[in-house]
A and B are shown apart, each in its own frame.
Chain A
Amino acid sequence: NAGVTQTPKFRILKIGQSMTLQCTQDMNHNYMYWYRQDPGMGLKLIYYSVGAGITDKGEVPNGYNVSRSTTEDFPLRLELAAPSQTSVYFCASTRRGMLSGGAGSYEQYFGPGTRLTVT
């Protein structure tokens, strides 16, 4: 298994351009997440999905869009890129998702990240 893969690894965008960050997992996980991590900071949740066709906003969704047409893929779309979107983007997945009060492991598998610069 390749786990969670992300493309591209690096990208430089000009202000106002658009792009799609790709994320694919081959573990048949139902829950998938997009985070951004600014320098010296923790992870901020952008969007997440609990299954194909179902997505929901996280803490910082403005300026982004997602879709989930298959279990494997969860692309993140940036429209009209702004310098504030310069960050490292991580995609993650879990089999069961973050259920409250549950037993067992809810390990999140992270992709290698995409480093995006908007100038």
Chain B
Amino acid sequence: QKEVEQNSGPLSVPEGAIASLNCTYSDRGSQSFFWYRQYSGKSPELIMFIYSNGDKEDGRFTAQLNKASQYVSLLIRDSQPSDSATYLCAVKMDTGRRALTFGSGTRLQVQP
């Protein structure tokens, strides 16, 4: 089982729709969760982070965390073609390593 798992996609949504990106993780002791956006040929950039169960909203983005189910998601409301990118889920696992573990990413395509 992969430590951080994401559907590779592509996830295709029409402009203006809600895009829902999902991530599961294997370490039940994980505490910190991050979503990065990566445009083709570019470096990742942080969109959101979440530490507590529930929802966290920032503009058009909402991160949702359910530690009991070991599940974190990212919702993008009113999706725009400029949101088309690969979205990487990253988790700080409860190990001695002071680094994040990344999923392989979900490619999102927003159709105009």
Q: How far is the CB of A75 from chain B (nearest CB, A)?
A: 18
Q: Report yes or no: A43 in contact with B98, Cβ–Cβ below 8 A.
A: no
Which bracket fits the contact residues of B? 20 to 34
Q: How far is the CB of B27 from chain A (nearest CB, A)?
A: 10
Verify B100–A90 contact, CB threshold 8 A. no
The answer to whether B99 touches A111, judged by C-beta atoms less than 8 angstroms apart, is: no
A110→B100 contact, CB < 8 A: no
In the assembled complex, which residues on chain A have CB atoms less than 8 Å from the CB atom of B31?
A: 100-102
CB of A33 within 8 Å of the partner chain: yes
Please measure, in the bound complex, the distance between the C-alpha atom of A111 and the C-alpha atom of B42, giving whole angstroms.
9
Check A106–B49 contact: CB distance below 8 A: yes
Say what secondary structure dominates the interface of chain A. loop
When the two chains form their complex, are residues B8 and A40 in contact, meaning their CB atoms are under 8 A apart?
Answer: yes
Per DSSP, chain B at the interface is loop
Assembly CA distance A58 to B95 (angstroms): 12
Q: Is the CB of B99 within 8 A of A90?
A: no
A31 CB to nearest B CB, Å: 7
Q: Which residues of A sit under 8 angstroms from B92, Cβ to Cβ?
A: 98-100, 106
Q: A12 near B: Cβ within 8 Å?
A: no
In the complex, what residue of chain B is closest to A48 when comparing beta carbons? B99
Alpha-carbon separation in the docked complex, A113 to B39 (Å): 13
B51: chain A residues at CB < 8 Å are 101-103
Contacting pair A42 B99 (CB below 8 A) = no
Choice from A42, A107, A113 contacting B105 with Cβ under 8 Å: A42
A residues near B (Cβ < 8 Å) are 31, 33, 35, 40-45, 48, 50, 56, 58, 90, 97-103, 105-108, 110-113
- A-B pairs, 7 with minimum CB distance: A110-B43, A42-B102, A42-B104, A43-B102, A101-B31, A98-B98, A98-B92
